[in-house]
Amino acid sequence: MGGSASQLPRDLLGEYQELTFLTKQEILLAHKRFSELLSKEERESILQKRVPKSKILSLPELRANPFQDRICRVFSTSEDGNGSMSFEDFLDMLSVFSDSATSEIKSHYAFRIFDFDDDGTLDKKDLEKLVNCLTGEGDETRLSESEMDQLIQNILEESDIDKDGTINLSEFQHVISRSPDFARYLCLHCLLRCLTGENPALARQGKLASG
C-alpha cells in the first residue's frame, strides 16, 4: 500500500469541480495520472509536490507536441520559471483543454501559448514561430522566406484590426469568433489535436490562412 497515492479529500474534490470544467471522474483520473509522475514517497503528499517539466513532457499527450514547452510555461506557477507543475497547475491545464471548456477560455490560453515572448501580443516573430511549430522545420515542410512572409501577411490582414502590425488578445478572440475555419487552423484545432496525440502538421501550402 506504500506506493498508492493519497486520496483526494471530498471537499477539495467538490471545490475542483466548481473551479474547473472537469467532472468528478476526470479529476480523480487526473489525480491518479499526476501521482504516477511522483515517487512512492512523494505520493503521500501529492498536493504539496511539484512534478518536473521533464516528467510532464513524458506524458503521451505532450511528448510529440510542438507547443510542449509553451504549454508548460503557461500553466506552470513555478516562481523560478522552470516549467514544473503542481497538481492544481496540472488540473488547470486539463480543464482548459477539456471538451467542456468554453471557446473564450480556450482561445485565451491558446493566445498565451502562441505569445512566445510573453509580451501580450502576437507579432511577426511569434507568428513565424507558430507556423514553424505547426509545419515542422525540416527541409520538406519548412516554408520558404517568401511563403512565410505571405502567410504572416495573410494572418495579419485577417486579424490585425487596428493595423499596428500585431495581434492582441481581443483581436485574436474576435477573428476566432467570426471565422471558424481560420480558428480551426490557427488555433484550437491544431492545439487540441496535439493534446490528443494526433499529428497536427499542416501541409506546406499553408492552411493556416488561405488568401
Partners of residue 122 on adjacent β-strands: 167
- Give the CA count within 13 Å in the CB-facing half-sphere of 36: 9
pLDDT of residue 91: 96
* CATH 3.90.870.10 holds for 10-96: no
pLDDT of residue 181: 56
Sequence-ordered alpha helix ranges (H) in 59-197: 60-63, 68-75, 87-96, 103-114, 124-135, 145-159, 169-178, 180-186, 188-195
The residue type found at 12 is L
pLDDT of residue 194: 42
Partners of residue 86 on adjacent β-strands: 50
Which residue do the cell numbers 509580451 mark? 119
In tens digits, what is the pLDDT along the chain, a chain of 211 residues? 334 456 889 999 999 999 999 999 999 999 999 999 999 999 989 999 999 999 999 998 888 888 999 999 999 999 999 999 999 999 999 999 888 888 889 889 999 999 999 999 999 999 999 999 888 767 777 888 999 999 999 999 989 999 999 999 999 999 888 766 555 544 444 444 444 334 333 333 333 433 4
Domain map (residue ranges) of the chain:
10-96, 103-195
Angle formed at CA 92 by CA 86 and CA 95, multiple of 5 degrees: 145
CA atoms of 24 and 30, how far apart (whole Å):
10
pLDDT of residue 211: 41
**CATH code, residues 103-195:** 1.10.238.10
103-195: same fold as 10-96?
yes
